[in-house]
Chain A
Amino acid sequence: MTKEKKSLIKKVNSKLTQSQVNRIISLSIILVVVASVIGISSSVFFQKKPDGFSELSLLMYNDLTEIFEANNYPIQIYSYENVSVYFMVKNFENSVKYYQLQIKVVELTQNVSSQQPISAISSFFLYANDTFEKILSPATNAEKKETGLFAGDYIWEPTELVLYLNSEVVSKLTSPNFLKIVFELWEFNTEKENFQYTGVFAFLELEY
């Protein structure tokens, strides 16, 4: 068989393979159309929720301006004078949250972590007869962009806390003159059916 003959057969063969290629292309187009329809519909209907967060703020009420501000925090607490602070929680998570605020008094040297809550051994609870709990809706995308708001379905409105010097607690503190009041945010876990630490906290260091 000469070179020319071989090239002609190759030419004919290549033509035949091209038809197969065309079939493959058409099949691929069909597959791409079907896959893109499935892809688009799944991205519309099975949207993965992005990670959210919870916000805890400690605020003071300014009597002059009549607004809440994150400023002018108390630095001292006396047995004859209570101290008022306000806390506010915002739900920027992507689902409903059942929050609980726990208030603990610890030594000034006690480290506060977002990984572990302060243990009951090293802390003393304030407001043993009162609990601070609230169920909040998640913020919408528009609400997430808003700042400086103090009311809304996703906001636990500024709630007053009256801090007082508990002589029993003070007697247990070893560091003289200073104490730390820690505000820990907990959330209800429906699987475990109890409150779990969110890792969100705030604290005040006060002289007494």
Chain B
Amino acid sequence: MKRYQKFILILCVFGITTIMHNQIPIVQGQAEQEASAAIQEADEKLTYVLELLEEISNYDEDIRNLILQTDDARQLIKEAKDNYASSNFTISYQKATGAILQLDSIIGEIDSKIQSKTQNKIIIFSLVGVLAGLGAIMFSFLFISKIYPWYEKKKIEEYSKLEINYNNSKGDMK
């Protein structure tokens, strides 16, 4: 029985070693795929962030800080690519996901900034529009109530100054 136990033990060790040996390339292949996908996603997000930043007209202090953070994320992506090229897939994946997280936070901040600026613009435009409308209405009201009656009055005054002389001999009007 003891002889069989030894044989079974050797078989188990051999089996586990074989499984481990076959599993390592699978795990490595998965890590490579994950790292590659993460790098691609990070690259796409970086392009999107740049698109958002290009649309901004006023680069205030907050936006300039976000640009610095974007450059940090770019550096992380570069390191992820370098590690990928050196077959350090786990580190590459970590760097790429770090960049993705950073870029996601930047996208959130830019979106909220753009949204608040759009709201401010709408308020200002509405105010300008309302004021312009009010100005136009007031001018029309002034014209109808003051200027036009004054003009009519003046016209009548002017007409009243006119004299109509009849020339009996010719029957003509002067």
A137 touches B59 (CB 8 A): yes
Q: B158: which A residues are within 8 A, CB to CB?
A: 15
In the assembled complex, A159 has its CB within 8 A of some CB on chain B: no
Chain A residues whose C-beta falls within 8 Å of the C-beta of B114 in the assembled complex? none
Bound CA span A160–B160, Å: 94
- A34 at the B interface (CB under 8 A): yes
Q: Is A33 an interface residue (CB 8 A)?
A: yes
Cβ contact within 8 Å between B47 and A19: no
Instruction: Give the B interface residue count (CB, 8 A).
Output: 38
Q: Does B47 lie within 8 Å of A190, measured CB to CB?
A: yes
In the complex, are the beta carbons of A153 and B132 less than 8 A apart? no
A173 to chain B, nearest CB (A): 29
Bitwise, B130-148 to A at CB < 8 A (1) or not (0) is 0110011001100100011
Task: State whether the Cβ of B26 lies closer than 8 Å to any Cβ in chain A.
Answer: no
* Contact status of A135 and B128, CB under 8 A, knowing A30-B139, A34-B136: no
List the A side residues contacting B53 at CB < 8 Å: 95-96
A-B pair count, CB < 8 Å, reads: 87
B155 engages A19 (CB within 8 Å): yes
Q: Does A157 contact B (CB under 8 A)?
A: no
Question: In the complex, what residue of chain B is closest to A153 when comparing beta carbons?
Answer: B64
Taken residue by residue from 109 to 150, chain A's Cβ proximity to chain B (1 for < 8 Å, 0 otherwise) reads as 000000000000000000000010111111010000000000
Question: Once bound together, how far apart are the Cα atoms of A19 and B50, in whole Å?
Answer: 60
The answer to whether A26 touches B64, judged by C-beta atoms less than 8 angstroms apart, is: no
Say yes or no: B74 contacts A2, CB within 8 Å.
Answer: no
Query: Is A26's CB under 8 angstroms from B125's CB?
Result: no
Q: Could you tell me the distance between the alpha carbons of A80 and B85 in the complex, rounded to whole angstroms?
A: 30
Do the beta carbons of B143 and A26 come within 8 Å of each other? yes
Let me know if B155 and A190 touch, CB within 8 A: no
Instruction: Please report the C-alpha to C-alpha distance between residue A19 and residue B151 in the assembled complex, in whole angstroms.
Output: 8
Does A37 belong to the interface (CB within 8 Å)? yes
Report the bound CA distance from A190 to B47 in whole Å.
6
A41 interfacial by beta-carbon distance below 8 Å: yes
Q: List 27 A-B contacts (CB under 8 A).
A: A4-B172, A4-B173, A8-B173, A8-B174, A15-B158, A15-B159, A19-B151, A22-B151, A26-B143, A26-B147, A29-B139, A33-B135, A33-B136, A34-B135, A41-B128, A47-B57, A96-B54, A96-B59, A96-B70, A98-B50, A134-B71, A135-B50, A135-B67, A135-B70, A136-B67, A153-B68, A190-B47
Closest 9 CB pairs of A and B: A135-B71, A37-B132, A96-B53, A2-B172, A137-B67, A137-B64, A190-B51, A4-B174, A153-B64
Q: Name B's A-contacting residues (CB within 8 A).
A: 47, 50-51, 53-54, 56-57, 59, 63-64, 67-68, 70-71, 74, 78, 121, 124-125, 128, 131-132, 135-136, 139-140, 143, 147-148, 151, 155, 158-159, 162, 170, 172-174
